[in-house]
Amino acid sequence: MDLRAELLKSIWYAFTALDVEKSGKVSKSQLKVLSHNLYTVLCIPHDPVALEEHFRDDDDGPVSSQGYMPYLNKYILDKVEEGAFVKENFDELCWTLTAKKNYKPDRNGNSVVSHQDAFKLWCLFNFLSEDKYPLVMVPDEVEYLLKKICTAMNVELNSCELDDYLSQEPQGQGGLTVWQFLDMVNSGRLLRGIEQEAISMAVEEVYQEVIEDVLKQARSQHIRGTSSILLPPHFDLHVSWVQGYLWKRGQLRRNWSERWFMLKPSVLSYYMSEERKEKKGSIALDKHCCVEVLPDRDGKRCMFCVKTLARTYEMSASDTRQRQEWTLAIQTAIRLQAEGKKSLHKDLKQKRREQREQREQRKAAKEEETQRLKQLQEEKERKLQELELLKEAQRQAEILLQEEEQRRRQQHEEMQRTLEIQLREAEQARASMQAEMVLKEAEAERQRKRILELEDMQERLQEALQQEVKARQDEEAVRYAQARLLAEEEEKLKQLMKLKEEQEEYIIKTQREKQVLKQEMENKNKCLEEAQKQLEEVRVNRQRVDQDVMVAQRKLRQASTNVKHWNVQMNRLMHPIGPGDKRTNVSGGVFAGYQPLLSRRDSSLK
């Protein structure tokens, strides 16, 4: 929680206190006085021109909190500097305005806490309240604060009594308001049998620990030199807040003086006495500081020192235990500075808030799961009802199906009788048809045999045609090979003529160099001989190809002879066969269409 949020909480109480009619609006004159007082307690230079300009008298009437926020942010909160004012004076101003209207202690003087203690409880409430308006403190934080007060008095909080009170008290926005909290404390139900002075001392102790960030406190401030460590369970090194008397050695005069020391997370201050009216100095603590234990000397015992970048401070405690407590507390404050934590309790508050949010999330998830299970159960019941309706519909459908089946069976029986009559008629027609079929089958058998003979003849004819086509293809291949060999022979002759011309040229040119070029001539002669050998081989190949051509021509002539023979056989089979006819001449028939085709093929072969 930053400084602006802390200041806004207190200012909110002051604003609502000025809202007498509870309409959410405050008169401009009252806001002008409030702003002037805020300038004073926050040590901000007054800006009367802006104040008069913003709150000038006109007919707009009172100002709401939303209308006051722009001025508050721009001219007051934006100019506030942390450490430039006394936070307690600011809280007292806001408390004074709101307590007159809202705080109602017992008129008979039987209140458990004094007016000053009520102010400190109000400050503690603001620190621990939620960051939403209207300000409330959740029950967990109420229990936490009361436990700290009871721990300071060495008593145990009656949790059952607190739960009973919280269950009876109406809670708005999920928690208690500060006035409900003060009424609960003043009722005496939770602090029954405890003196007001003890309660006041406990409230002061918790106030200094939480609000003023004091890290150590003497249990009995009336006894010099005695101090003890408070051990909150939330802190890892168990150091809470520190105050007490120590002997300090001066820097210039080097004499020893007894001073009242008060330790906060960022500074170790020392005063003339425990009233803290005259401050003698302070030691700023950061991550570069350290604490060391010193040996006894100069008549002083239980010595230790605090080293900073600027100087070293020597101190002496009353006994070894007190020295250990002080060194541990100062080391803790240095570690807090190194970790960047300005306030221990702000960090603890944030952790508690995160834990509460996690619990709320788990609770919401559990409720959501319960709701989902409930919806599933309702869905299950609805589906069971639908299933019952479906079963009833199924029973009705079965009844209709049985009726339909009965009607269909009757129709089937009638159809069966009709079919039996038709079947008898079909049997009679079948008998007559079978007689006709016998005659037809005998005729068909003769036709099948004839067709088989014709098919066999056709296959032989096709084989002869294929042989003729193959012979023609072989002839074409041989002719192509012969042409290729002739081309190669011509190419070899050209090369031979070229070689002869080159040889003659070389002979003419090399007459004068006969001795030198003799070897080259021999090489050329060798090449010529090889070319002649290749020419001879080409001639041999040509003769072989010619022989192959002659063989292919003989095959072609033989195939033509076979084709003519089969044409004669085909002509004999062309005449159709009739029952009882003699096989005289087959000049026509089924294959009469083949004769023009065969004639064209014979002419092409010729």
Residue 129: predicted pLDDT: 86
Each residue's pLDDT tens digit, 455-474: 888 888 888 889 989 988 98
Running DSSP on this structure, what letter comes out for residue 261? E
Percent of the chain whose predicted confidence (pLDDT) is above 70: 85
Least confident of 230-239, 266-275, 444-453: 230-239
Q: Are strands 279-284 and 303-307 parallel, antiparallel or unpaired?
A: unpaired
Report, as an integer, the average pLDDT of 565-571.
82
Task: Specify the higher pLDDT residue, 66 or 528.
Answer: 528
The answer to whether residue 240 scores a pLDDT higher than 70 is no
Nearest to 542 by CA among 474, 596, 488: 488
The answer to whether residue 394 scores a pLDDT higher than 50 is yes
Least confident of 88-102, 153-167, 389-403: 153-167
Structure tokens at 90: 């600011």
DSSP per position, 15-78? HHHH-TTSSSEE-HHHHHHHHHHHHHHTT----HHHHHHHT---TT-SEEHHHHHHHIIIIIGG
H-run or E-run covering 294: strand 290-294
Compute, in degrees rounded to 10, the torsion defined by CA atoms 286, 289, 290, 295. Answer: -130
DSSP per position, 227-257? -B----TT-TT----EEEEEEEE-SSS--EE
Nearest to 137 by CA among 178, 81, 192: 178
Residue 152: predicted pLDDT: 82
Residue 389: predicted pLDDT: 92
Report, as an integer, the average pLDDT of 174-198.
81
The answer to whether residue 604 scores a pLDDT higher than 80 is no
Least confident of 227-241, 355-369, 398-412, 587-601: 227-241
Phi, psi (5° rounding) for residue 271?
Answer: -125, 170
The rounded distance, in Å, linking the Cα atoms of 592 and 589 is 5
Report, as an integer, the average pLDDT of 383-402.
91
The rounded distance, in Å, linking the Cα atoms of 321 and 351 is 32
Report residue 316's pLDDT band, with 50, 70 and 90 as the boundaries: very high
Report residue 171's pLDDT band, with 50, 70 and 90 as the boundaries: low
The answer to whether residue 244 scores a pLDDT higher than 90 is no
The answer to whether residue 64 scores a pLDDT higher than 60 is yes
The rounded distance, in Å, linking the Cα atoms of 430 and 437 is 10
Residue 399: predicted pLDDT: 92
Residue 226: predicted pLDDT: 32
The rounded distance, in Å, linking the Cα atoms of 441 and 434 is 10
Angle 262-266-268 from CA coordinates, rounded to 5° = 30
Helix/strand/coil for 137: strand
Residue 397: predicted pLDDT: 92
Residue 307: predicted pLDDT: 92
Residue 58: predicted pLDDT: 58
The answer to whether residue 452 scores a pLDDT higher than 50 is yes
Residue 217: predicted pLDDT: 45
Residue 579: predicted pLDDT: 59
The answer to whether residue 157 scores a pLDDT higher than 90 is no
Amino acid of residue 33: V
The rounded distance, in Å, linking the Cα atoms of 40 and 480 is 124
Report, as an integer, the average pLDDT of 234-250.
62
Each residue's pLDDT tens digit, 334-345: 887 887 766 666
The rounded distance, in Å, linking the Cα atoms of 294 and 413 is 123
Residue 290: predicted pLDDT: 92
Report, as an integer, the average pLDDT of 151-171.
79
Structural domains of the chain ordered from first start: 1-88 (1.10.238), 242-342 (2.30.29.30)
Helix 344-509 vs helix 514-572: angle between axes, to the nearest 10 degrees? 100
Report, as an integer, the average pLDDT of 504-510.
81
Percent of the chain whose predicted confidence (pLDDT) is above 90: 9
Mean pLDDT (the chain) is 81
The answer to whether residue 221 scores a pLDDT higher than 80 is no
Least confident of 231-235, 266-270, 288-292, 334-338: 231-235
Structure tokens at 369: 């799961």
Structure tokens at 38: 């805020």
Task: Specify the higher pLDDT residue, 203 or 515.
Answer: 203
Residue 60: predicted pLDDT: 57
Nearest to 125 by CA among 6, 2, 41: 6
Indicate the length of the chain as a whole number: 606
Running DSSP on this structure, what letter comes out for residue 228? B
The rounded distance, in Å, linking the Cα atoms of 600 and 596 is 6
Each residue's pLDDT tens digit, 281-315: 999 888 889 999 999 888 888 999 999 988 899 99
